[in-house]
Amino acid sequence: MTMGCNSRQSDDVTILDLTGRLSLGEAVAFGPGSGLVLSETVRELAKKGKKNVLLNLGGITYVDSSGVGQLVGALTSARGQGVTLKLLRPNTQVLNLLKMSKLDTVFDISEDEATAVASFSKGAAAGG
């Protein structure tokens, strides 16, 4: 089963609405024949000049430790490309896995989309 993904824009933030299973080898489905994984998706967005990425995890139904590894890979890829990556609405299972691995201190996690989108601007203003 592939992980579904819908991409949309809110101001200068690209929001990826993820659905399905976040697990080892799960492909992000951007259409028939697509086999992109999360870190590759982030690299592709960076190539297109998309520097603010919000992963909406509200539609994720299952995650395992390798799925958390996918999130870490996406974050590593984002940082390497000069992209800011944040998480939105992780379910209890995802949040618990992030807390157990202390990754909740590494990721910027929000429950509210408007707050998350606004936080990208605040970060840029504080850093610039």
Residue-wise pLDDT tens digits, 39-86: 889 999 999 999 999 999 999 988 888 888 889 999 999 999 999 999
pLDDT tens digit string along 27-38?
555 443 444 578
Please state, in angstroms and rounded to a whole number, the distance separating the CA atoms of residues 55 and 18: 7
Domain boundaries, the chain: 3-123
Residue 105, H or E segment: none
Residues 76 and 63: their CA atoms lie apart, in Å, by 19
Segment holding 64, helix H or strand E: none
Which CATH number fits the domain 3-123, given the four candidates 3.30.450.40, 3.40.190.10, 3.30.750.24, 1.10.357.20? 3.30.750.24
Q: For residues 78 and 120, is the Cβ–Cβ distance under 8 A?
A: no
Q: Say what the pTM is.
A: 0.86
Structural contact between residues 87 and 109, judged by C-beta atoms closer than 8 angstroms = yes
